[in-house]
């Protein structure tokens, strides 16, 4: 029983729901939380329920299903039975697994948790590490003036579906960490997510001084110092925890730069295990480290003043890593010599990884420009940041009606394999089934809201009870959803640009439209909070009252209801600041359609058959004139396309154009923008090859063969001694081959890749390698190629870059020499 209630598999697999209902129907209905249901039911009631033969049978069946689920052959075990990958360690500041474990703020936690769940479905071995925040992220209340109030209810660990990590003797496990000011203690907790495990650390150990105990109180609260301390606990404490518990993952996956200290602690553990210098262990650790960046603007990077790093990390760096603090600081700097430069966690992550990716195709591009300064003279497109577009864990976000429909066409285990054929199955669905599912899902949302609106929307203030207007939502209205963080770049007020034009739309009785909104603004973000106020005031306009509702306290549970029920999901960020965005993906499985700026995932997902797009696909910064253009376009799309398609019905009452879009959006986009696809892509593109590389390096060092360490030293030290002599690119008609003369200086020529390079034509790279033909006098070497050059010969120039088996170029060796 306890095992079932503590396995967060229940957040997406509802097979045991009947069991919990039979134990305490009221509590279950209210919380939908098995752990609360189990632990809050009075002992006598529980005993009575458990003696019931039906309940007994349900327990037995649920346990059997769990056993089957854990033992079944998975995508990973089937496809990679001999894999060298035994475990991936996944680090993230936040995880949005369930309302039952509120240790998240938004998108980043969503990505982390959905991937963890998909890894469990697919059998990819992942152990995750995060922090247990006593208060999580703030909760929101709206005052009668329309201002946001931040509340911090306490997460009592006893009510969370987690358990303390225990020692073999059954004692609470505590991790001791030496600091300059003495020993501090970290407590460790464990959450089970199907096959995956999530460890959570907190500092609230009674024997710690108060300043230490507060480190893990709030997520994204406090100042830079608190953030640094949290990141130290997550990275250093987190890796050490895994190590002490016996985990030896080949892969360390850093979900955003926050966790980058983990890479250093990992190297320290390797140095200790193999008895080698830290600098060598760093190179081994690096082979198995993947960094996923989520930021689209430089201001999004975590930056720490050098003084702060010195005061908090000198002890760790010098005593633990054996690294002078100035060298430590250099790891987070663009220019190691610049002692004023702040310490950039993303740079540390870059310098600790053998692979880096952004979270959508567009964000990959943006990230290459952000990180270009680390790779001077490299063409931007070769800056080593690729992309894996995010996806959402479909079973977490689907409605009951959508789940039924998908089960009918594709069976129960449909999200556990490769998703092949799912699109075709959807294309066979008739309009009637799709439309019925949509209407049932919309009604489900309105039903859920009508139940919880009274408590969600009301506050008791100086003037007594006050409630946000409770709308009269209609089951037949086009229901538009907009919910996300209220940050300026997301332009939550774009649709309010011309209020009267929006009001005209809302007042049309023949084509009823309603808008459901929610979102929090960071307590320090005054502009974001002003936008909330603007919306709350708008909702109270007499002429449209009841048609627009702002729901207080956006959270995962509300997000689930909204994405299941709405017809249209609206997203209006300023391109290219939405790195990926995930909320729009959540409506796909439910047959909701997207109207969004061409940014993040929508920039690659949009075609006219699946929804609507705003913007011209270019960047306009914060230009108010473009906001105006975008707003006009938004109204035009709503007036001329969205509403007509939704309200144009045939004799059966079905909007055929709309259902056609639903079908295409579900068929084409749901599989592609699922966490299932994302995790398979991470596994095949990164986890598997990096784990090979990691094992090789770990091994190489053991037999102390001439290794990457010496060779990268050689490249570093010798690069400036490299010379390019004469380069000859004869006319194509001459029948002669291009050739060149190189002096490798102190570098072994085997480590050099001599190439003719031209700017790509239509995205197609034009890089032609030259091979070594003859060693000449004084160390000069002749190179040649007989490959035909594409395009004009004058496009080409010679360049040399490092090359070496197993070396990550240019991440580990950002050297490049150009002829001109
Ligand atoms: C999905 C989700 C997010 C992320 O939404 P974006 O539109 O990608 O910013 C944030 N908060 C909650 C509660 C969510 O469910």
Whether 301 and 390 have beta carbons less than 8 Å apart is answered as no
| 364 and 286 together in one domain | yes
pTM score of the predicted model: 0.97
- Classify residue 614 by its DSSP letter: E
Distances (CA, A) of 424 to 234, 421, 574, 686: 44, 5, 34, 29
Residue of 110, 219, 393 to test ligand 1 pocket, by largest number of atoms within 8 Å of CB: 110
Distances (CA, A) of 326 to 323, 478, 733: 8, 60, 57
What pLDDT score does 762 carry?
A: 87
Shortest-distance atom of ligand 1 to CA 392: 1
Give domain status of residue 360, yes or no.
Answer: yes
Say whether pLDDT at 151 is over 70: yes
Number of structural domains, the chain?
A: 4
pLDDT band at 207 (very low <50, low <70, confident <90, very high): very high
293 Cβ closer than 6 Å to some ligand 1 atom: no
Give domain status of residue 414, yes or no.
Answer: no
Q: What is the CATH number of the domain that holds 136?
A: 3.40.50.2000
| 67 and 89 together in one domain | no
| 693 and 725 together in one domain | no
pLDDT digits over 324-366, tens only?
A: 999 999 999 999 999 999 999 999 999 999 999 999 999 999 9
- Rounded-to-integer distance, Cα 169 and Cα 691, Å: 34
| 726 and 764 together in one domain | yes
Task: Please state, for a pLDDT cut of 70, what percent of the chain lies above it.
Answer: 99
106 Cβ closer than 6 Å to some ligand 1 atom: yes
Query: If 0-12 CB within 10 Å is exposed, 13-18 middle and 19+ buried, where does residue 751 land?
Result: buried
109 Cβ closer than 6 Å to some ligand 1 atom: no
114 Cβ closer than 6 Å to some ligand 1 atom: no
Give domain status of residue 177, yes or no.
Answer: yes
What is the whole-number distance in angstroms between the Cα of residue 187 and the centre of ligand 1?
A: 29
597 Cβ closer than 6 Å to some ligand 1 atom: no
What pLDDT score does 198 carry?
A: 98
| 23 and 91 together in one domain | no
| 202 and 315 together in one domain | yes
Last residue of a domain, one of 665, 698, 731: 698
Collect all residues with Cβ–Cβ distance below 8 Å to 628 and sequence separation of at least 6: 497
- Rounded-to-integer distance, Cα 300 and Cα 296, Å: 7
- Classify residue 544 by its DSSP letter: G
- Rounded-to-integer distance, Cα 718 and Cα 229, Å: 39
What is the whole-number distance in angstroms between the Cα of residue 545 and the centre of ligand 1?
A: 26
- Rounded-to-integer distance, Cα 582 and Cα 196, Å: 22
583 Cβ closer than 6 Å to some ligand 1 atom: yes
**What is the chain's mean pLDDT, rounded?**
95
Give domain status of residue 93, yes or no.
Answer: yes
Structure token pair of residue 508: 């049309």
Give residue 144's domain range: 84-390+684-698
Give domain status of residue 13, yes or no.
Answer: yes
The residue contributing the CA closest to ligand 1 atom 1 is 583
Q: What is the mean pLDDT of residues 86-92?
A: 98
Distances (CA, A) of 503 to 425, 488, 539, 645: 40, 23, 11, 20
| 689 and 741 together in one domain | no
Give domain status of residue 415, yes or no.
Answer: no
| 329 and 365 together in one domain | yes
Structure token pair of residue 45: 């009631």
Task: Quickly count: other Cβ atoms within 10 Å of residue 307's Cβ.
Answer: 8
pLDDT band at 701 (very low <50, low <70, confident <90, very high): low
Give domain status of residue 401, yes or no.
Answer: no
Q: What is the mean pLDDT of residues 504-528?
A: 96
479 Cβ closer than 6 Å to some ligand 1 atom: no
140 Cβ closer than 6 Å to some ligand 1 atom: no
Q: What is the CATH number of the domain that holds 743?
A: 2.60.40
| 113 and 60 together in one domain | no
Within its chain, how far is the Cα of 469 from the centroid? 35
Shortest-distance atom of ligand 1 to CA 584: 7
Give domain status of residue 642, yes or no.
Answer: yes
Say whether pLDDT at 435 is over 90: yes
Say whether pLDDT at 477 is over 90: yes
Residue of 390, 563, 582, 673 to test ligand 1 pocket, by largest number of atoms within 8 Å of CB: 582
| 65 and 116 together in one domain | no
Distances (CA, A) of 183 to 174, 175, 205, 276: 12, 10, 12, 26
3 state DSSP class of 760: strand
Collect all residues with Cβ–Cβ distance below 8 Å to 805 and sequence separation of at least 6: none
What is the whole-number distance in angstroms between the Cα of residue 437 and the centre of ligand 1?
A: 24
484 Cβ closer than 6 Å to some ligand 1 atom: yes
Collect all residues with Cβ–Cβ distance below 8 Å to 746 and sequence separation of at least 6: 714, 717, 718, 721
572 Cβ closer than 6 Å to some ligand 1 atom: no
What is the whole-number distance in angstroms between the Cα of residue 229 and the centre of ligand 1?
A: 26
- Rounded-to-integer distance, Cα 33 and Cα 20, Å: 9
What is the whole-number distance in angstroms between the Cα of residue 484 and the centre of ligand 1?
A: 5
Distances (CA, A) of 793 to 133, 460, 495: 61, 77, 52
What is the whole-number distance in angstroms between the Cα of residue 583 and the centre of ligand 1?
A: 5
Instruction: Give the torsion sign (CA, 63, 64, 70, 74).
Output: negative
pLDDT band at 14 (very low <50, low <70, confident <90, very high): confident
Shortest-distance atom of ligand 1 to CA 107: 4
| 459 and 543 together in one domain | yes
| 215 and 302 together in one domain | yes
């Amino acid at each position: 029983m306890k095992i079932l209630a503590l396995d967060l598999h229940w957040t997406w697999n509802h097979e045991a729901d009947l069991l919990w209902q039979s134990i305490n129907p009221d509590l279950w209905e209210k919380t939908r939380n098995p752990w609360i249901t189990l632990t809050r039911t009075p002992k006598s009631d529980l005993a009575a329920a458990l003696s019931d033969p039906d309940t007994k049978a349900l327990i037995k069946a649920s346990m059997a299903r769990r056993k089957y689920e854990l033992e079944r052959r998975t995508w990973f075990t089937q496809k990679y039975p001999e894999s060298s990958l035994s475990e991936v360690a996944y680090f993230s500041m936040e995880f949005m697994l369930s309302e039952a474990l509120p240790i998240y703020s938004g998108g980043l936690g969503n990505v982390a948790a959905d991937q963890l769940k998909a890894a469990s479905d697919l059998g990819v071995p992942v152990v995750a590490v995060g922090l247990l925040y006593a208060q999580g992220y703030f909760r929101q209340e709206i005052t009668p003036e329309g201002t946001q109030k931040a509340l911090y209810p306490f997460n009592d660990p006893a009510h969370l579906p987690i358990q303390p990590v225990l020692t073999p003797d059954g004692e609470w496990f505590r991790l001791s960490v030496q600091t300059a000011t003495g020993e501090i203690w970290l407590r460790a907790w464990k959450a089970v997510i199907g096959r995956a495990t999530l460890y959570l650390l907190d500092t609230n150990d009674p024997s710690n001084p108060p300043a230490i105990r507060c480190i893990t109180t709030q997520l994204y609260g406090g100042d830079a110092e608190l953030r640094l301390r949290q990141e130290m606990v997550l990275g250093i404490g987190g890796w050490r925890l895994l190590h002490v518990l016996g985990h030896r993952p080949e892969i360390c996956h850093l979900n955003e730069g926050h966790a980058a200290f983990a890479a250093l602690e990992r190297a320290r553990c390797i140095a200790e295990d193999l008895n080698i210098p830290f600098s060598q262990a760093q190179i081994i650790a690096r082979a198995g480290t993947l960094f996923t960046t989520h930021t689209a603007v430089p201001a999004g990077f975590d930056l720490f003043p050098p003084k702060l790093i010195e005061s908090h990390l000198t002890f760790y760096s010098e005593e633990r890593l054996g690294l002078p603090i100035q060298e430590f600081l250099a790891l987070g700097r663009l220019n190691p010599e610049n002692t004023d430069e702040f310490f950039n966690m993303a740079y540390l992550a870059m310098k600790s990884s053998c692979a880096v990716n952004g979270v959508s195709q567009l964000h990959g591009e943006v990230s290459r420009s952000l990180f270009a300064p680390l790779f001077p003279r490299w063409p931007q497109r070769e800056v080593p940041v690729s992309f894996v577009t995010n996806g959402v864990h479909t079973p977490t976000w689907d409605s009951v009606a959508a789940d039924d429909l998908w089960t009918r066409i594709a069976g129960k285990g449909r999200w556990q394999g490769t998703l092949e054929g799912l699109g075709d199955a959807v294309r066979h669905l008739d309009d009637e089934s799709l439309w019925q599912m949509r209407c049932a899902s919309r009604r489900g949302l309105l039903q859920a809201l009508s139940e919880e609106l009274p408590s969600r929307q009301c506050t008791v203030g100086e003037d007594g009870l006050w409630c946000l207007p409770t709308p009269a939502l209609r089951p037949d209205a086009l229901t538009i959803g907009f919910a996300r963080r209220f940050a300026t770049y997301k332009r939550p007020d774009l649709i309010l640009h011309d209020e009267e034009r929006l009001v005209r739309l809302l007042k049309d009785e023949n084509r009823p439209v309603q808008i459901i909104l929610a979102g929090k603004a960071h307590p320090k973000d005054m502009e974001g909070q002003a936008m909330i106020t603007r919306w709350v005031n708008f909702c109270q306009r007499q002429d449209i009252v009841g048609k627009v509702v702002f729901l207080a306290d956006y959270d995962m549970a509300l997000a689930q209801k909204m994405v299941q029920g709405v017809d249209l999901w609206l997203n209006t960020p300023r391109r290219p600041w939405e790195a990926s965005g995930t909320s729009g993906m959540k409506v796909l499985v439910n047959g909701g359609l997207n109207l969004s700026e061409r940014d993040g995932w929508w920039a690659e997902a949009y075609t006219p058959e699946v929804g609507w797009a705003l913007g011209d696909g270019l960047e306009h910064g914060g230009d108010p004139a473009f906001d105006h253009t975008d707003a006009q376009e938004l109204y035009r799309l709503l007036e001329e396309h969205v509403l007509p398609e939704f309200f144009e019905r045939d004799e059966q009452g079905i909007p055929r154009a709309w259902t056609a879009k639903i079908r295409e959006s579900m068929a084409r986009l749901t599989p592609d923008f699922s966490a299932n696809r994302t995790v398979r892509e991470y596994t095949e593109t990164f986890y598997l090859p990096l784990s090979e590389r990691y094992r090789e390096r770990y091994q190489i060092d053991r037999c102390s063969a001439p290794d990457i360490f010496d060779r990268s030293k050689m490249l570093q030290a010798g690069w400036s001694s490299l010379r390019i002599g004469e380069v000859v690119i004869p006319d194509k008609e001459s029948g002669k081959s291009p050739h060149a003369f190189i002096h490798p200086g102190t570098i072994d020529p085997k480590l050099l890749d001599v190439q003719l390079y031209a700017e790509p034509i239509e995205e197609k790279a034009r890089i032609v390698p030259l091979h070594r033909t003859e060693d000449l006098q004084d160390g000069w070497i002749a190179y040649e190629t007989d490959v035909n050059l594409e395009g004009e010969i004058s496009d080409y120039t010679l360049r040399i870059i490092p090359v070496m088996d197993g070396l990550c170029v240019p991440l580990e060796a950002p050297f490049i020499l150009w002829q001109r």
